[in-house]
Amino acid sequence: MTSTIEDAEKWANDGIGALSISLVRSTDQTAQLGKTEQNLVACFHPKFVYPIFGQEETIYGYQDLDIQLQFDSSSLKNYLSIQYKAKLPESSPVKPDEIEETLYKFIPPDYTKSEETFKKEIEETFEKGFIPPGEKISSYRPNHSKGKGKSNPTQKLEPWVKCDSEEDENEEEVVYELWAANWKTPGFREYHRRMQVFTLLYIEGGSYLEEDDHRWEFVVLYERRKRRTANSERRYDYHFCGYVTLYSFYHYPSSIRLRLSQFIILPPYQSCGHGSMLYSQIFQYLLKRTEVAELTIEDPSEAFEDMRDKEDLKLLMKHNVFDLELSKLIPVDREWYLATKEKWKLADRQFSRLLEIALKIRLSLEETDPKVERAYRIAVKERLYRFNYDSLVNIPKEERRERLQQTFEGVMEDYDRIISGERRWQLRGYGDIHYAICEPVEVLAQI
């Protein structure tokens, strides 16, 4: 029995380790990369493969299996290579998994298995020039500030800043651009079919979208790099970094509520602050759209919630939203609450949490009456009771109080974590009062 198991195991391959992904650039584009940028063209692995190869994420029937799924970093055209040291013989009672046949169901059929053809296609895309489908809605660049200015004491901590003008963009070697699209955008449907496999590989429980559902919107993030030309002609190359999907719902009486459904930053661009910038720029883009009443998030991960809280707090504090007298915030003035929540297009729970975090920060920095602190605790517990009403209403009063207190303490611990910064977060200041807000150095921005 032992020898049989050992024999079977030598033909089993970890699907995550066996599948390597890379974003390939043309020869000239690769040569343009600096030493610290080589990771942009290096291989990386998926986070999940169970949607493709099954729950065990195991590929059976091969030894030393190496699957290369390469993408043109601009057009996202595919090259597929499947290599192995040995394959189960035809006489084996157990047949090896059909790798290409399985992958064929999830990637566009126009992929190539010829490396020479793939390289030729990349060079052709480079010569022709790739322009993203859709409409550019925002851009950001590296922050070159060397110190903290009086107008912005935290400028040094920001790795990226929004481009204020076309001139601001044109001065940069590398700029990151956000392009909005939908199913009606010329060329986007085909482009989405190439990029959608990342949903399966990097979002737990991710699935493909229905192309006949017109309510989907997309924002794609690109690295735009200035091309070096002999005649100083201004040309740019675009490289895929990640994307966001948004789904619209009717919002009474005549607007829409957008739900952020999928959010992906590919591994070569993670841990650099791109997730925070992508989210914040999308949020500010939606604030300008009069037909959008609210932005919600579908089943966010803890890492995404942390990033979202930080960005939302940063934006609201930048505009001094919480710089009112405490008497108007504890307990909160209902008219102000509803008007402010509507103005910033935030869901009720998210705005309540942001208010509670901001108040906790103020209470920790300002000398306040103990009655105010008690009123704060009561206000938070009232919200938690409403939120957990179904699970609390039918239990004995004393047990209800105990559970509510436990929930309150858990929420306060979470707020303390966000404020004080475990996970290598740094403090920063905003507004007239220097609020202690956290800035994550490293956040995996994906759900």
Domain ranges of the chain: 2-128, 131-299, 321-447
Q: Are 357 and 415 in contact (CB under 8 A)?
A: yes
Element containing residue 354 per DSSP (H, E): helix 348-365
Query: How far, in Å, CA of 156 to CA of 298, rounded?
Result: 33
Known active-site residue 172: no
Burial of 361 (0-12, 13-18, 19+ CB in 10 A): buried
Q: Are 239 and 74 in contact (CB under 8 A)?
A: yes
Q: Which CATH number fits domain 131-299: 3.20.20.190, 1.10.10.10, 3.20.20.450, 3.40.630.30?
A: 3.40.630.30
One-letter amino acid at 301 equals: S
CATH topology for the 2-128 domain: Histone Acetyltransferase; domain 1 (3.90.360)
Query: How far, in Å, CA of 250 to CA of 257, rounded?
Result: 6
Task: Give pLDDT tens digits along the chain (447 positions).
Answer: 444 555 778 999 999 999 999 999 999 999 999 999 999 999 999 999 999 999 999 999 999 999 999 999 999 999 999 999 999 998 888 899 999 999 999 999 999 999 999 999 999 999 999 999 999 999 999 988 755 544 554 444 688 999 988 887 877 899 999 999 999 999 999 999 999 999 999 999 999 999 999 999 999 999 999 987 767 678 999 999 999 999 999 999 999 999 999 999 999 999 999 999 999 999 999 999 999 999 999 999 888 999 999 899 999 999 999 999 888 899 999 999 999 999 999 999 999 999 999 999 999 888 778 899 999 999 999 999 999 988 888 899 899 999 999 999 999 999 998 887 533 333 344 333 333 433 333 333 333
263 labelled ligand-binding: yes
276 labelled ligand-binding: yes
Residue position matching structure tokens 């090896």: 96
Query: How far, in Å, CA of 23 to CA of 227, rounded?
Result: 18
pLDDT at residue 420 in the model = 74
Dihedral, 347, 353, 357, 360 alpha carbons, nearest 10 = 130
pTM over 0.85: yes
Q: Are 309 and 357 in contact (CB under 8 A)?
A: yes
Q: Return the bridge partners of 63, or none.
A: 86
Q: Are 175 and 157 in contact (CB under 8 A)?
A: no
Catalytic residue selected from 56, 171, 190, 298: 298
254 labelled ligand-binding: no
Please count the CA atoms within 13 angstroms of the CA of 113 that sit on its side-chain side.
Answer: 8
Q: 218: Cβ–Cβ under 8 A, 6 or more apart, which residues?
A: 134, 180, 181, 182, 188, 192, 243, 244, 245, 246
Task: For residue 80, count other CB atoms closer than 10 A to its CB.
Answer: 18
**Which DSSP symbol is given to 39?**
G
The first and second tokens of residue 73, run together, are 């970093």
Fold agreement between 2-128 and 131-299: no
Burial of 281 (0-12, 13-18, 19+ CB in 10 A): buried
The first and second tokens of residue 276, run together, are 């925070």
378 labelled ligand-binding: no
Query: How far, in Å, CA of 109 to CA of 119, rounded?
Result: 18
270 labelled ligand-binding: yes
147 labelled ligand-binding: no
187 labelled ligand-binding: no
Query: How far, in Å, CA of 395 to CA of 383, rounded?
Result: 18
To 5 degrees, how large is the angle CA 337–CA 339–CA 343?
115
The first and second tokens of residue 263, run together, are 């959010």
pLDDT at residue 146 in the model = 56
275 labelled ligand-binding: yes
Residue of 35, 105, 114, 119 lying closest to 73 (CA atoms): 119
Residue position matching structure tokens 């966010």: 300
The first and second tokens of residue 257, run together, are 């509520």
pLDDT at residue 168 in the model = 77
